[in-house]
A and B are shown apart, each in its own frame.
Chain A
Amino acid sequence: MRYLTESDIEALAVGAAILGTGGGGNPYIGKLHCLQELRRGARVPLIGVDELADDAVVVSVGGIGAPAVSVEKLEEGHEGMRAVRALEEFCGRNATALVAAEIGGGNSMAPIITAAQLGIGVVDADGMGRAFPEMQMTSFSIYGHRSTPAALADERGNVVLFREVQTEQWFERLARASVVAMGGTAVGAEAPMSGAYVKRAGVPGTVSQAIALGNIVLDANRKHADPVARICAHEGGVHLMDAKIVDLRRHLEGGFSVGSMQLEGIGRHAGTAADIAFQNEFLMFRRGTVVEVCVPDLVILLDADNGHAITTDVLRYGQRVAIIALPCHALLRTPEALAVVGPAAFGLADVAYRPLAQR
């Protein structure tokens, strides 16, 4: 167990954006908020999964809503705390640690902010090891945990408690409707999990992983070194291609930003063409007609110069990018996980998932 430092938070913002695989929202606002909590004297322990007591009461916390709203209507600041308190009151027991549902993007920061205010720790794990667009797409849900009872809090002091829902999809549907009524953003806290369950179903070590990734990039920036190779070496990843975006199509579909981009190789990849499909996050990398990587493995676009993540909302023609792939955790590769987060779950019915880790 160790305490998170300001430099951890700076690195986490960079690394979480990379694990966001193009989505998850920008961690910038959350980072500023976290730093402010730490500067006010809060100390937040980062609890390793192996240090977690089996009877620990772990609550997952995350922001839900539209990234475009979250950069404009910033939080009141204690939304997460109100959601956790409401849940504790309903369940009759207090959370002893928080965990991120989604390490990728802005939601890496939400549990840390709330933990700082509650005076408890954050588990070094999450439910995705990356970002996904829907709330039921967590390893916690996939392996049997029911998200309800759950609480949603907005900036006004409204708290909605979801006492009973019939399926995880119903929860996603009802929670989204509430978030829209709340003005597009809210913070949610979901049914407490036991420490034993988080050990079994959580993607372990992802907070440390994001911090390490961020430190690799920041260190390479200071030394004017190439971060891409070092990221791949550290994470067992593959440097797929250096490329330029030569065409970009996107539209809205069911509230998601859906689209694809055409890529043209540059440098040692000159002469090759590829494309990437996305739905908030990057879903699939295809070179020519061959699908090389797809969900749940991570397809990541980095700025070719500085190694920082490029998100789907800032994609533009002509951008020079390095495309890398990182293997997802084994928990996301089982048949039951692939049914929820595999290619078919994203409408890529004819794509067969070939795990990156087994090549």
Chain B
Amino acid sequence: MYRIGVDVGGTNTDAVVMRERSVLAAVKVPTTAEVTTGLMEALQAVLAQAAIAPAQVGLVVIGTTHFTNAVIERRHLAPTAAVRLCLPAAQCLHPMVDWPADLRAAIGEHIFLADGGVEFDGSPISGFDAARITRIGQEIRARGITSIAVCGVFAPINDRYEQQAARLLAEACPDAAITRSAAIGQVGLLERESAAILNSALLPLARRTVAALREGLARCGLACPFFLSQNDGTLMAAAHAERFPVLTFASGPTNSMRGAAFLSGHKDALVLDIGGTTTDVGLLQHGFPRQAGTTVDIGGVRTNFRMPDVFSIGLGGGSRVHGGDAGAEVGPQSVGYAITRDALAFGGAVLTATDVAVAAGRARVGEPARLDGLDAALVAGALARIDRMLEQAVDRCRISAEPLPVIGVGGGSILMPERLGGVAVTRPEHYAVANAIGAAIAQTSGEVDRICMLEGSSREAALAAAEREARDKAVAAGAVATTLVVVEREDVPLAYLKGNATRVRVKVVGDMRI
């Protein structure tokens, strides 16, 4: 069977057809406002290029930045009620207290506090008040709100009250879509609650978008299961993505890094994803992007998602080049997607990083003859500047003196020199569609992340129990058990708690059954 990977980006929609480990076809078309048309165009083109029938495709995986962009642009967000189970604790700061005012206004300030939180050991703070939750549900319904987020204090430790509250709210508001915080986040009340609220606010858009994608696939004759790729580079069923759109927030950089790993064959490497305006640099460990350790800001909101630790610099194929007193300057301004119109090599009037690479013989695009009159010193200076920027970015992401290979992907990777920091740079075949390839090869995962009391037991026993549970989850999500490998396994002790409280995290990934 064949598999299709699609990346629906802000500018382009890329699609690839793969069988086993080979890429049979790859296309790039402009993204359309209503998703479906651009997706169909890409799918039809890639099926034609691979010369296969839709019925031969066993799996489609789509990566999209649609939901991230909706938050950043404050568009398509539904008014959402925030129900926090906490009393009498956590009254001092209300939900969304640290959000930008425009985003808070877009969601509306529908805030309800109730009993139902638990302590770090799972015991109740104050019990659970079912009647109060039902009254809150009735009030939410009376306000005409159909998106609800429920967040209980320490729900990641024990979510029984969160579940009860969600059931009561669903009874009181039969039309509402509800997100429970424990289903998407970890300890850190404000961050997890914010993620749950954003998720609920995105639910109507998620339903429409997934429906549009489903329709696009159906109209192309693709009847196979389809998945969306999530933050960590693994996939989730479309029906799951409809309920948890926030889990796609970082799928863009993740997919390009996973694609780079696949295309180059390296599991531990530094990846440079060079686009038109920016370069993202990240570290691959065991074939997956290294995760950021702290909170991640999305559209001005602190969240505690596990996101790839990606460092961005303002250098891309379209970066403008200026001569200056201190030598050549490159970026951060860029002609972006207009590069094939504005750059000198394409007959435009702007000197860009791509022109410099072409003039120096590093890249072969456009018409090199148009660059004949360029000042050789400026070209050499700009080239040296580009190399220095890339070298510094790569060096930042290194975590040891070990000379890890460097992989370049993305359309702008033609700027790269042959060596960076003494290490040879590879630009694999199909580098420009690494994103879509990352989607196509997505595996499935199972994860356990919880706080354990280690008193009377051992770290190893807790980790082993978590690993068994993570494996079961992965198999339930469609993984082939024999392909599962552990990609993350850590325990972090928490200070000042009795019982040796330790956060235990295990994640396993494996191939999807097709």
Contacts and interface: CB of A to CB of B under 8 A. Distances in A.
A314 interface: yes
B369 interface: no
A229 interface: no
Interface string B61-82: 0000000000000000000000
B349 interface: no
A156 B493 CA distance: 27
A183 interface: yes
A250 B502 CA distance: 12
Interface stretch (B30-38, B88-96, B465-473): B88-96
B126 interface: yes
A126 B91 CA distance: 28
Interface in B82-107: 86, 88-93, 97-98
Given A33-B93, A74-B189, A317-B399, A66 B154 contact: no
B315 interface: no
Contact of A76 (B88, B189, B399, B401): B88
A36 B93 contact: yes
Interface stretch (B16-24, B117-125, B212-220, B326-334): B117-125
B328 to A, nearest CB: 20
Nearest to B84: A74
The size bracket of the interface on B is: 35 or more
Contact of A73 (B89, B492, B496, B501): B89
A76 B90 contact: yes
B293 A280 contact: no
A333 interface: no
A318 B93 contact: no
A33 B94 CA distance: 10
A77 interface: yes
A263 to B, nearest CB: 12
Contact of A66 (B190, B283, B492, B497): B497
A157 B401 CA distance: 54
A71 B189 contact: yes
Interface in A96-140: none
Interface in A28-52: 29, 32-33, 36
Contacts of B401: 246, 264
B174 interface: no
Interface in A276-304: 280
Contacts of B501: 66, 68
Interface residues of A, number: 39
B120 A73 contact: yes
Interface string B491-514: 011111110111100000000000
A221 interface: no
Contact of A255 (B86, B397, B497): B497
Contact of B495 (A29, A71, A180, A256): A256
A252 interface: yes
A67 B495 contact: yes
Contacts of A184: 119-120, 496-497
A156 B153 contact: no
A69 to B, nearest CB: 5
Given A73-B153, A256-B495, A68 B92 contact: no
Contact of A72 (B154, B397, B399, B500): B154
A320 interface: yes
B187 interface: yes
B495 A252 contact: yes
B293 A252 contact: no
Contacts of A155: 88-90, 125
Given A66-B496, A180-B498, A255-B497, A74 B90 contact: yes
Contacts of A314: 293-294
B493 A251 contact: yes
Nearest to A255: B496
A251 B89 CA distance: 30
A72 B182 CA distance: 13
Contacts of A157: 88
A68 B156 CA distance: 13
Contact of B400 (A66, A156, A246, A313): A246
Interface in A216-244: 244
B120 A72 contact: yes
Contacts of A156: 88-89, 125-126
A329 to B, nearest CB: 25
B396 interface: yes
B225 interface: no
Contacts of A317: 399-400
A65 interface: yes
Contacts of B167: none
A72 B153 contact: yes
B144 interface: no
A257 interface: yes
B294 A68 contact: no
B455 to A, nearest CB: 10
A76 B98 contact: no
B323 interface: no
A289 B86 CA distance: 50
A76 B89 contact: yes
A29 B93 contact: yes
Nearest to A66: B496
B493 to A, nearest CB: 4
B398 interface: yes
A173 interface: no
A183 B493 contact: no
A255 B498 contact: yes
B188 interface: yes
A98 B248 CA distance: 47
B92 A257 contact: no
A75 interface: yes
B500 to A, nearest CB: 5
- The 6 A-B residue pairs with the shortest CB-CB distance, nearest first, are A318-B399, A77-B92, A66-B496, A252-B493, A74-B90, A68-B494
7 contacts: A68-B451, A68-B497, A74-B153, A74-B189, A157-B88, A180-B497, A318-B283
Interface of A: 29, 32-33, 36, 65-69, 71-77, 155-157, 176, 180, 183-184, 244, 246, 250-252, 255-257, 264, 280, 313-314, 316-318, 320
Given A76-B89, A280-B495, 10 more contacts: A32-B97, A36-B92, A65-B496, A68-B451, A68-B503, A73-B154, A74-B89, A76-B90, A176-B496, A252-B495
